[in-house]
Amino acid sequence: DVKVTQSSRYLVKRTGEKVFLECVQDMDHENMFWYRQDPGLGLRLIYFSYDVKMKEKGDIPEGYSVSREKKERFSLILESASTNQTSMYLCASRTGTVNSPLHFGNGTRLTVT
C-alpha cells in the first residue's frame, strides 16, 4: 500500500513566521504535489514536482515555495505566513505513467494567527 506521510496533523503559527510542511512517500513515485483545501473552493494546486530538484507552479503559488532534494520528500515552505494561508494542506504522489492516480496524505491543518 502506498503511504504518503505528512509530518504534522495540526500546526499553529504566527503571522510572519517561516513555516515548513513536510511530506514523505514510500513508493518511489516520481511526481509529488501540494494542494490546499478550503470550504467552497475545493482543492487548489500550489506546486508540483515531476522529479528530484524539479518544480512547477500550480494555480496559486504566490506566497509559497517548495523543495525536492530527495525523491521521497517534498517540502512546502511559507516564507512569511499570513492569516489567509490558514487552510488544510494536502500532499500527494503518483508514478510518472499517464493515467496513474494520486495518492494523498491525511493533510496538515495549518492555522496562522
| d(C-alpha 35, C-alpha 92), whole Å | 8
Supply 89's cell numbers: 494542506
| d(C-alpha 68, C-alpha 51), whole Å | 8
Residue in 50, 51, 65, 82 binding other proteins, rule: CB under 8 A? 50
Residue in 21, 25, 48, 76 binding other proteins, rule: CB under 8 A? 48
Shortest Å distance, C-beta 101 to other proteins: 4
Residue in 42, 62, 69, 84 binding other proteins, rule: CB under 8 A? 42
Shortest Å distance, C-beta 107 to other proteins: 5
Per CB under 8 A, residues contacting other proteins are 4, 31, 33, 35, 40-45, 48, 50, 58, 90, 92, 98-99, 101-107
